[in-house]
């Protein structure tokens, strides 16, 4: 089945400025017809780790909140704790980080409520039907209990998932800490001592304390390092978050991308299915295909985008909207400087150019098989 994906390319005018264009975009999805008066509506968003500038900005979502309130909903902004410590590892720091990035309830008309409680333990288990990996998924309570769900994502590259869009925002982002851990569990790094230069950059990146530099003399089996320290990994402490991979430019940390990442993507899609397919009402997905950075908004920095700003997408189908966003980015002229290969042309797959070992459809085929939506879509300009 072909699913409609509504698209605004950001062209604007005095007669139809930003807020009016967003209202028209959301109106076309038909979501408002499903909203009951007073429905507590979770707007699942990523507030951006400290140092990030490419996340969805508060003023961009004000028209979405106004639209939902106009339809009778009672919207609130939400996200769940991260596995790593960072600025979003528990509710107090997370709410402060949202405030620092300007998510002000009085300005926006919606409060920030962290979905999985003070320390990430407030969760509800929902069934997964037809999955290979799980029969139940552990979901942040505030998302699982919300009457309606709106997913707002910044579409960009991602270190482990290839890209971050609607399905990742829900499948990983709305999982509780335990749920996140269970999705990541087999994807820890392995150390390649021969490639490690002992710089320590990955140690600073690892919030779990799983990485440390060891004196050359203590390494076993013995390795010739010219007396310099080398990296060691305590797998028992590793939560498989993948943050360290970006730190290492020399191949000192490796992962079996071919096997583990495909399974990781499947687990993430099963979580998305548990969240979206157990709901009585459809969910709305909004993708900001702007500032398409190579890496996600958890990394503490925003690199130069891999293409120009493309627009905003809205759909009731999370698979279709992710496929459409990926296609639009891949068709766009590549931008430099970023770490895209220099010979890339419009139409080449930018996400697999960034991470060549990722599976071809990056989990969207599995999401489709789970019944989450359709990879066939019609792009409808609004």
231 binds ligand SF4 (CB under 6 A): yes
The smaller minimum CB distance to ligand SF4, of residues 10 and 263, is found at 263
Bridge partners (DSSP) of residue 285 are 151, 315
Rounded-to-integer distance, Cα 209 and Cα 238, Å? 8
Binding range to ligand SF4, per CB under 6 A, among 61-69, 105-113, 238-246, 271-279 = 238-246
Q: Where are the beta strands (DSSP E) in the chain?
A: 3-8, 40-44, 74-78, 123-127, 136-140, 148-154, 156-158, 162-164, 190-191, 211-214, 230-233, 253-254, 284-289, 311-315, 377-381
- E strands in 106-192: 123-127, 136-140, 148-154, 156-158, 162-164, 190-191
Structure token digits, residue 46? 């990523």
Q: Of 99 and 223, which has the nearer Cβ to ligand SF4?
A: 223
Distances (CA, A) of 225 to 2, 232, 252, 253: 58, 14, 13, 17
The minimum distance between CB 285 and ligand SF4, in angstroms, equals 28
Q: Which of 206, 246, 314, 326 forms a contact with ligand SF4 (CB under 6 A)?
A: 206
Q: What six digits make up the tokens of 63? A: 């028209």
Site membership for ligand SF4, residue 305 (CB under 6 A):
no
Minimal distance, residue 86 CB to ligand SF4, in Å: 11
Of 3, 56, 150, 196, the one binding ligand SF4 (CB under 6 A) is: 196
Single residue of 173, 242, 318, 334 touching ligand SF4 by CB under 6 A: 242
Using CB under 6 A, which of the segments 67-75, 92-100, 144-152, 246-254 binds ligand SF4? Answer: 246-254
Instruction: List all residues 6 or more positions away from 141 whose beta carbon is below 8 Å from its beta carbon.
Output: 115, 116, 117, 122, 123, 124, 176
Please tell me whether residue 232 binds ligand SF4 under the rule CB under 6 A.
Answer: no
**Per rule CB under 6 A, is residue 208 in the interface with ligand SF4?**
yes
Among 58, 157, 171, 240, binds ligand SF4 (CB under 6 A): 240
User: Binding pattern to ligand SF4, positions 148-187, x when CB under 6 A?
Assistant: ----------------------------------------
The answer to whether 86 contacts ligand SF4 (rule: CB under 6 A) is no
What Cα–Cα distance (Å) separates residue 305 from each residue in 50, 157, 249?
18, 9, 20
The β-bridge relationship of strands 190-191 and 377-381 is unpaired
Q: Pick from 137, 143, 150, 247: which binds ligand SF4 (CB under 6 A)?
A: 247
Q: Which is nearer to ligand SF4, 140 or 210 (CB)?
A: 210
């Amino acid at each position: 089945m072909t699913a409609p994906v509504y698209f605004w390319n950001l062209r604007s005018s005095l007669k139809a400025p930003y807020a009016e264009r967003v209202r028209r975009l959301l109106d076309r999805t038909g979501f408002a017809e499903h909203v009951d008066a007073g429905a507590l509506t979770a707007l699942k968003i990523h507030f951006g780790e400290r140092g990030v500038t490419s996340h969805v900005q508060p003023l961009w979502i004000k028209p979405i909140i106004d639209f939902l309130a106009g339809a009778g909903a009672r919207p609130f902004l939400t996200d769940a704790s991260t596995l790593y410590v960072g600025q979003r590892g528990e509710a107090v720091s997370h709410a402060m980080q949202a405030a620092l990035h300007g998510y002000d309830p009085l300005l926006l008309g919606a409060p920030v409520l962290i979905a999985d409680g003070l320390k990430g333990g407030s969760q509800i288990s929902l069934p997964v039907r037809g999955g290979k990996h799980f029969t139940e998924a552990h979901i942040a309570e505030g998302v699982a209990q919300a009457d309606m769900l709106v997913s707002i994502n910044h579409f960009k590259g991602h270190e482990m998932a290839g890209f971050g869009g609607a399905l990742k925002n829900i499948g990983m982002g709305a999982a509780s800490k335990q749920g996140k851990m269970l999705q990541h569990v087999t994807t820890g790094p392995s150390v390649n001592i021969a490639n490690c230069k002992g710089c320590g950059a990955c140690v600073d990146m690892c919030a779990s304390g799983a990485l440390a530099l060891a004196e050359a003399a203590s390494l076993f089996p013995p390795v010739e390092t010219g007396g310099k320290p080398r990296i060691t990994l305590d797998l028992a402490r590793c939560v498989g978050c993948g943050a360290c991979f970006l730190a290492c430019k020399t191949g000192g940390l490796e992962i079996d991308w071919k096997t583990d990442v495909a399974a990781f993507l499947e687990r993430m899609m099963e979580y998305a299915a548990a969240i979206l397919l157990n709901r009585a009402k459809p969910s709305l997905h909004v993708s900001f295909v702007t500032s398409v950075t190579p890496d996600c908004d958890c990394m503490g920095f925003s690199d130069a985008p891999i293409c120009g700003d493309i627009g905003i997408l809205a759909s009731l189908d999370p698979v279709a909207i992710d496929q459409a966003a990926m296609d639009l980015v891949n068709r766009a002229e590549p931008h430099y400087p970023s770490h895209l290969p220099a010979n890339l042309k419009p139409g080449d797959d930018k996400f697999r150019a960034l991470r060549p070992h990722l599976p071809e459809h990056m989990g969207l085929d599995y999401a489709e098989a789970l019944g989450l939506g359709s990879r066939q879509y019609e792009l409808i300009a609004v």
